[in-house]
Amino acid sequence: MLLYFSLLVLTPLIIIILLSYATFTRSMGEEIKKSIQQSINYEVDKLEVYYSVLTELTNNIVNYEELWRLLEKQDSIAKDDDSAVTVNKLDISESLRILKNSRNDVMDIGLFTKSGGVFHSVLYDYNPGSIFLKESKLLQSSWYQDFNNHGLVRGIYRSSEDRMVFLSRINNPRTFTDFYGTLIYELDIKFFDQIFQENANQYQSSIYLFNEQDELIYSKGDAIASQKLQVIRSSDIAAMAKNSNKYLVVSKHSHSTNWSTYEVVPYKTMMKDANSLRNTSFLLVLVSYFAAVCVTFFLGHQVVRPLKKLMIAMRQLGSGFQGITMKVNGPVEVQEITKRFNTMELQIGRLITNVVEEQQKVREADLSALQAQIHPHFLYNTLNLIVFLARKNKVNEIQSLTGSLIEFLQNSLKTNRFVDTIANELRMIEHYVLLHQHRAEGKVSLFIEADLDLLGIHIPKFILQPLVENAIFHGIYPKDGHGSIRIVVQRIGNLCEIRVIDDGVGLNSQLIPEPHKGLGMKNVRQRFLNYFSEGNSGMDVASKPGIGTVIVLFFQITQLGQVVMKDEDRTDRG
């Protein structure tokens, strides 16, 4: 109760802290979004300025009179005058180099004329990675083909890992209308790194730049696959996820360059300050709860702790534990409750003991009655057999039979236990079948197969004799010729299985579902199921006329060979 009271007091404070955190987080998120939008607008502005610079450089080249004079001279020189062609070509390269030197980010300037001439501003030795090294492949490059196929006036493409190209179609300045060729600016990718570096470092964001053909020409980072960004409208904000990581995507399309810029910012870095506040808030909550627990523990130590022990003891008593005596220090009220509990536990224990003893006596009386029913039944059949032999004046057989009967009865009456080992039960079966062999003159044969480690297991006494008796009287005697009984004792998993198999005439199928018909079978089933644990034992009967009968007894045993039986039967082994 004290703990609940402390939590009730702290709950409003905790709610205020959490609401403040949520409000601050939303406000901070909006401010960061605005900051990212301003940053990407600034980046797009710089790209537009750079585009204008390249356009202005193109105009300077077109208006450079000395360059066009050299180009016209190149067209007028005879093709077979290699020396003059080479000298003039170097002059053209020098003119382009003069124009290039005004821009450090431009690595090379090339000119492809309509007539097939190729000129550029830098010698190969000074620009080893230049795209102009292999002019034939350059003309067949995908970006050059795309530029011409779409009839673009200006375009930008990615040519290699560290370079980009900017193409511009120019006309002859003399005629103004005739197409003359294409200017190609080889650009250093580091210049674009400088444009996007500040924002990328601030939020650990990824930058993507697409040209007018929606081709990716620049990327820094790989937070999101570039193909997924195409679904976002230009100049928009969207949220995306990848591998359980959330990202904010801000896009901006430039109408001047026709380029699209995307910036992908991880939420975890964008909300770093908010996360710090969240951690501080959670820490404050934890400290508050810890303080409440400490105060509650201090105030309730004398009451709550003793009552908790008493509650545990009541649960144990309800689960069947006995002999629980509570010793609790605390206020007078708690000690009085503990005293009453100990008195109640003692009375309940005595009552349970009395009930168990009465149930045990009833169980033993029932088992004695069932066993008393079996003995007269067995003796009746045996004495009837002796009378049968006496009529035939078989003195020797009567003497042997009487000796087997005496040994059989001595073994069954030497103890008043209700259980015996499987080994003793099988030994009594051997004497019993021997009695019938005297009567039937060897018509009955007995075969026993038993696992040695199962012979010491206890089972209800006289549980097998009625089954063998039924096999002889109802299976083998009505049969023409010799008959046999086979008893198999084996372990199957955690079950012990005892099979009584005869090759007699078999039982009528209508009798199999009614195993309680007949005194012997009824007593066997009832004693067997009363002795063993429910759900882990059973008795099955299968028979086929003309083939024989199989009776199966099975019950659960442990790995050590111990029987799993009902609690009230555990004293039967006495």
Which position has the higher pLDDT, 318 or 71? Answer: 71
pLDDT, mean of residues 485-500 = 94
pLDDT in tens, 431-458: 888 877 876 777 899 999 999 999 999 9
Helix (H) / strand (E) element for 108: namely strand 106-113
Token output for 23 = 């409000």
Question: CA-CA-CA-CA torsion for 278, 282, 283, 284, nearest 10 degrees?
Answer: 100
Q: Is 113 or 535 the better-scoring residue by pLDDT?
A: 113
Residue 175 has pLDDT above 70, yes or no: yes
d(CA 21, CA 17): 6
- Give yes or no for residue 565 having a pLDDT over 60: no
Q: pLDDT tens digits for 41-68?
A: 888 999 999 999 999 988 888 888 888 8
For 275, the token pair is: 């996360």
Torsional sign, CA 192, 198, 201, 207: negative
Residue 568, pLDDT score: 47
Kindly indicate the confidence band of residue 307, based on its pLDDT and cuts at 50, 70 and 90: low
H/E run at residue 184: strand 179-188
Q: Is the pLDDT of residue 346 over 80?
A: no
* Among 257, 161, 302, CA closest to 218: 161
Q: Could you give the residue range(s) of every CATH 3.30.565.10 domain in the chain?
A: 355-569
503 pLDDT higher than 90: yes
Q: Which residue has the tokens 């019950």?
A: 555
Q: What pLDDT is recorded for position 513?
A: 43
Q: Which residues pair with 155 in a beta bridge?
A: 167
Q: What is the pTM of this model?
A: 0.45
What's the confidence (pLDDT) of residue 136?
A: 66
Find the mean pLDDT for residues 156-171.
Answer: 89
How far, CA to CA in Å, does 390 sit from each of 68, 399, 493?
148, 10, 49
The one-letter amino acid code at 13 reads: L
pLDDT tens track for 24-35 = 566 666 777 787
**Which of the four pLDDT bands, split at 50, 70 and 90, describes residue 571?**
very low
Mean pLDDT of the chain, nearest integer: 77
Cα–Cα distance measured from residue 111 to residue 303, given in angstroms and rounded to the nearest whole number: 95
pLDDT of res. 574: 36
* 498-525 core/surface letters (b: 16 or more CB in 10 A; e: else): bbbbbbbbbbeeeeeeebeeeebbbbbb
CATH class of the domain defined by 355-569: alpha beta
In the chain, the N- to C-terminal Cα span, in Å, equals: 53
Query: How many CB atoms are closer than 10 A to CB 195?
Result: 21
